[in-house]
Amino acid sequence: FQCCTLAFRLHPVDPNVFCDQELDGFIPLTARSRNRTNDMCDTKEKDWYAVLGASPSDSVQQLRHRYQQLALKHHPDRLEGEHSSEEFVELNEAWRLLSDQNMRRQYDLQRRAQELKQDCPVDDSVFLEDMIWDQGQCVYTYCCRCGGAFNISQKEVEEETRWTQQEEANQETKRRHQVGALVCCNTCSLSLHVTWPSNRKTQTLK
């Protein structure tokens, strides 16, 4: 089954909104990182991993190594000109963002969500209970207008529900009334935004 499996933790009500509204209640922000939210909203224009010449899969140690190498290379004291200064500022900004575990996690979610938004345009939003339950395959399915189907497994629903409940318990986040997931069609490029109550017990899922 072809499910994107990325829950719209940034904005479970409206999947088309990522950075233009207050993020509190969707992604836990510390007081320090909340002031930096605007930095991460530039994911369309700036790839902070690319600034460091790094990959999203790199460890913090690898990112630090890349940052140190490039910082020495582009330090204003070693190079003259406004261009070198701008590059050095960008390097510091990239390292500041990606070295913070919470900031990096939030940035990764926004980055991935933006990629999916571009690759899989949201066609509609439905409640999980409105989807058809396939007992044999243990999946919820919904017909796409192209003739294909949107499928999300019970396991994926349970995992996302547990993740949300754990986040709320561990980080004392504002309670979310809805959990949301973006599900891609198994035939075309459209996607479906599926929501269900965050307090729904996984063992009672139909």
Residue 78 within any structural domain of the chain:
yes
Q: Which two tokens stand for residue 55?
A: 């990959």
* pLDDT the model gives residue 88: 87
Q: The domain spanning residue 110 has which CATH number?
A: 1.10.287.110
* pLDDT the model gives residue 177: 65
Number of compact structural domains in the chain? 1
Residue 170 within any structural domain of the chain:
yes
Residue 19 within any structural domain of the chain:
yes
pLDDT tens-digit profile, the chain (206 residues): 334 434 344 444 444 433 333 333 333 222 222 333 334 434 345 889 999 998 888 899 999 999 999 988 887 777 665 556 788 889 999 999 999 988 898 888 887 767 666 666 777 889 999 999 999 989 999 999 999 999 999 998 988 888 877 776 666 555 556 788 888 889 988 888 898 887 765 444 44
Hunting for tokens 């089954």 — which residue is that? Answer: 1
Hunting for tokens 């899969």 — which residue is that? Answer: 57
Residue 1 within any structural domain of the chain:
no
To the nearest 10°, report the CA torsion of 119, 125, 128, 134.
Answer: -60
Q: CA 10, 11, 16, 22 torsion: positive or negative?
A: negative
* pLDDT the model gives residue 45: 57
Q: Phi and psi for 56 in degrees, rounded to 5?
A: -60, -20
Q: Which two tokens stand for residue 57?
A: 């899969």
* pLDDT the model gives residue 77: 74
Hunting for tokens 């339950």 — which residue is that? Answer: 133
Range of the domain at 32: 6-204
Residue 177 within any structural domain of the chain:
yes
Residue 76 within any structural domain of the chain:
yes
Residue 132 within any structural domain of the chain:
yes
CA 201, CA 158: separation in Å to the nearest integer? 8
Residue 18 within any structural domain of the chain:
yes
